[in-house]
Amino acid sequence: MSLFARIREDIDSVLERDPAARSRLEVFLCYPGLWAVWIHRVSHQLWRRRIRLLARLLSQVGRFFTGVDIHPGALLGRRLFIDHATGVVIGETAIVGSDVTLYQGVTLGGTGKGHGKRHPTVCDRVFVGNNANLLGNITIGENSRVGAGSVVLSDVPPNSTVVGVPAHIVYRNGERVLITDPHDIKDPLSDALIALAARVDELEERQGAHELRLEPFAAEEAEREAYHMELERRQYVSMGEGI
Ligand SMILES: CC(C)(COP(=O)(O)OP(=O)(O)OC[C@H]1O[C@@H](n2cnc3c(N)ncnc32)[C@H](O)[C@@H]1OP(=O)(O)O)[C@@H](O)C(=O)NCCC(=O)NCCS
Neighbours of 37 (CB within 10 A): 25
Q: Which atom, in ligand 1's list, is nearest to the CA of 130?
A: 44
* Tens-digit pLDDT profile for residues 133-180: 999 999 999 999 999 999 999 999 999 999 999 999 999 999 998 877
Alpha helices in the chain (DSSP H): 3-17, 24-30, 32-48, 52-66, 188-242
Residue environment code for 117-133, b if the CB has 16+ CB neighbours within 10 A, otherwise e: ebbbbbbbbbbbbbbbb
Ligand 1 lined by 40 (C-beta under 6 Å): no
Total residue count of the chain as it appears in this document: 243
Predicted pLDDT at 216: 64
Q: Of 75, 71, 82, nearest to 31 (Cα)?
A: 82
Q: Which ligand 1 atom sits closest to the C-alpha of 129? A: 44
Burial class (CB in 10 A: 0-12, 13-18, 19+), 155: middle
How confident is the model over 43-59, as pLDDT tens digits? Answer: 999 999 999 999 999 99
pLDDT of residue 217: 67
Q: pLDDT for 206-216, tens place per residue?
A: 888 777 776 66
